[in-house]
């Protein structure tokens, strides 16, 4: 009986020591690897642009170039529109896709004007999706959008028949986004880029 109790005590002590050691190991893990939320605010200058959107979880956001990349730029030099996405977070993929599809175009077009921008040491600028453009519109005074301008987005939908489609743009004066079948219209471009928590 005595030996059994002694063995039980040894096992208990060993278990406690093992538990304490594991707590010490996990408790001393390096918190420096944890992602820290963004600490910037709307209107701050950060990573080459002006902050105009921060996600609810504060792990990502968007900054806008401080100036337009042009005011009379066409969406497409040719009537070739391929559907792209509208949501926040899709503008970069839209832009890369458009630039790739239209790489044979010799005339400057909206997606390329944004994509070619190098500013503040960053070269990952893009033409915003329509939902991103609407967020940009909400902060139009902060980012300095042209009050009489119309801005292109990288969002497009199928027009329902070959070689036709509708692209989304937004008119600052009315605050309304709309689709446009005339991609040869000259509208403004404001490049944006994504910022992320580190």
DSSP string, 99-165: HHHTTT--S-BHHHHHHT--BTTB---BPPPHHHHHHHHHTHHHHT--TT-EEEEEEEEE-SSTT-E
What does the mean pLDDT of the chain come to?
Answer: 85
Contacts (Cβ under 8 Å, ≥6 apart) of 138: 52
Kindly state whether residue 73 falls inside one of the protein's structural domains.
yes
pLDDT of res. 104: 81
For residue 97, give the CATH number of its domain: 3.10.100
pLDDT digits (tens, 9 = 90+) for 54-74: 999 999 999 999 999 999 999
Domain count, the chain: 1
Kindly state whether residue 11 falls inside one of the protein's structural domains.
no
- The rounded distance, in Å, linking the Cα atoms of 92 and 196 is 14
Kindly state whether residue 20 falls inside one of the protein's structural domains.
no
Kindly state whether residue 16 falls inside one of the protein's structural domains.
no
Residue 150 · residue 183 · CB < 8 Å: no
> 97-117 burial, b if ≥16 CB within 10 A, otherwise e?
bbbebbeeeeeebbbbbbbeb
Q: For 141, how many CA atoms within 13 A lie in the half-sphere containing its CB?
A: 0
Kindly state whether residue 126 falls inside one of the protein's structural domains.
yes
DSSP classification of residue 74:
B
Greater confidence, 28 or 82?
Answer: 82
Asked whether residue 42 carries a pLDDT value surpassing 60, the answer given is yes
Instruction: Quote the percentage of the chain above a pLDDT of 70.
Output: 80
Residue 152 · residue 65 · CB < 8 Å: no
Average pLDDT over residues 71-91: 88
Kindly state whether residue 2 falls inside one of the protein's structural domains.
no
Residue 97 · residue 62 · CB < 8 Å: no
pLDDT of res. 22: 42
Domain span holding position 54: 45-196
Kindly state whether residue 177 falls inside one of the protein's structural domains.
yes
pLDDT digits (tens, 9 = 90+) for 128-138: 999 999 999 99
Kindly state whether residue 4 falls inside one of the protein's structural domains.
no
Q: How confident is the model at residue 14 (pLDDT cuts 50, 70, 90)?
A: very low
């Amino acid at each position: 009986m005595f030996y059994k109790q002694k063995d039980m005590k040894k096992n208990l002590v060993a278990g406690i020591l093992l538990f304490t050691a594991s707590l010490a190991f996990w408790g001393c893990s390096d918190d420096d690897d944890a992602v820290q939320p963004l600490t910037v605010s709307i209107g701050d200058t950060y990573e080459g642009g002006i902050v105009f959107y921060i996600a609810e979880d504060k792990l990502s956001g968007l900054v806008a170039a401080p100036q337009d990349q042009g005011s009379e730029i066409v969406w497409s030099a040719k009537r070739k529109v391929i559907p792209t996405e509208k949501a926040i977070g899709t503008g970069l993929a839209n832009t890369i896709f458009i630039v790739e599809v239209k790489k044979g175009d010799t005339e400057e077009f909206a997606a390329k004007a944004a994509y070619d921008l190098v500013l503040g040491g960053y070269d990952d600028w893009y033409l915003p999706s329509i939902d991103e453009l609407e967020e940009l519109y909400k902060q139009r005074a902060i980012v300095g959008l042209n009050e009489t301008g119309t801005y292109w987005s990288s969002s497009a939908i199928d027009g329902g028949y070959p070689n036709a489609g509708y692209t989304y743009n937004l008119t600052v004066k009315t605050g309304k986004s709309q689709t446009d079948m005339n991609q040869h219209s000259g509208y403004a471009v404001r490049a944006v880029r994504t910022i992320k928590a580190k």
